[in-house]
Amino acid sequence: MEKYAWKATVKEGMLEEYIRRHDNIWPELKDLLKSAGICNYTIWNTGSELFGYYECEKGVAYAAKVQAESPIVDKWNEYMKDVMVMEMDPETGAQPLLKKVFTLD
């Protein structure tokens, strides 16, 4: 199973709102992520930094393609842009994949 990790920044004073929105994530977005083969999705934060990690049952490329083609993801990204700053990869339209440097199995 392929793994995907991303990072972003929460805007000053917006962490509580970021968390509230994720506590109320749209069911159609959850369904889309699951249909893309995304599982074990977790987001952490420290200060204003966010770190996200998920596993891709159908591969990273497939998960990225499903998300890039989804108006639901576009709508979510638009909804979130007032609370966070995300760098986007111009090729995939997703957050750039962080490079893995270590794994402990």
pLDDT at position 40 is: 96
Q: Which amino acid is at 40?
A: N
- Residues contacting 61, CB < 8 A, separation 6+: none
In 1-105 the beta strands, taken as DSSP E runs, fall at 2-10, 38-46, 49-56, 84-85
First to last CA, the chain: 14
Q: What pLDDT score was predicted for residue 102?
A: 87
Domain 2-85 indexed as CATH 3.40.50.720 = no
- List residues with catalytic annotation: 22
| More confident of the two residues 100 and 63 | 63
What's the mean pLDDT when you consider all of the chain?
A: 92
Which has the higher per-residue pLDDT, 32 or 95? 32
Which residues lie across from 8 on neighbouring strands?
50
Residue 92 scores a pLDDT above 70:
no
How confident is residue 89, by pLDDT bands cut at 50, 70 and 90? confident
User: pTM for the whole thing?
Assistant: 0.86
**How far apart are alpha carbons 79 and 76 in whole angstroms?**
5
